[in-house]
Structure 1
Amino acid sequence: MGERTLRGARLGGQSFEDERGIEFAARQNVGYACPQGHEFEVPMSVEADVPAVWECPRCGAEALNRDGLTKEAKVEKPVRTHWDMLLERRSIKELEEILTERLELLRGGEIGPAHLHRPSKKKAKSA
């Protein structure tokens, strides 16, 4: 049994690979300053797109790039309501026709919940 046991390193241990012959990517330090007065640098690849805003590691506020990059304004789409989407598929005239048909069916008792149906007019039986 002793020959079959696995030998290993402790959890979170060191790596057995060495760094000889490894060429690291070119890096740059990008500086940021937050509204609370905290300043810090983030190492990034030279090829990376540098963001204009980075979260401050001390307070969590949005820190701005010290090199003067500005945050791009997002293009906001107007809110499309259910009515807007409905008008893309049907005209007002078509909608009025459909409404009239559905109301006739509802009033006739063919569709809808039973408590909304009007009682049918039955002649009273004379005793």
Structure 2
Amino acid sequence: MPSGNLIRGTRIGTAPERRAERYQPVPCRAVTYWCRNDHHTEIRIAADAEVPEVWDCPRCGLPAGRDAQNPPGRARPEPYKTHLAYVKERRSAEEGEAILAEALADLRRRRTAAQ
């Protein structure tokens, strides 16, 4: 007796028949980018889409621009920041002291309640 999961008349991995009836391809255009290492990358983008000024080179990772004679330079990476550095950007020293005092008071209150 055959299983209920059997799909008759098709193979795994076959494409649907009559693909052209299911969708209409979007008009595309080719855009070329060059990086400092003389690598050129051609991407296809929709005709009505906005073209990005800079594209990352897939070979070396440098930024690539549309002008072959004057490609963009290396982007300066932002230095690594610790969690504390981000907190200090958002809070002043006085706010930090107030939050710390509040947290310590809450911790002391919980310790005395547990005993």
What is the TM-score with the length of structure 2 in the denominator?
Answer: 0.50
More helix by share: 2
Q: Report the structure number with the largest CA radius of gyration.
A: 1
The structure with higher relative contact order (CA 8 Å, sep 6+) is 2
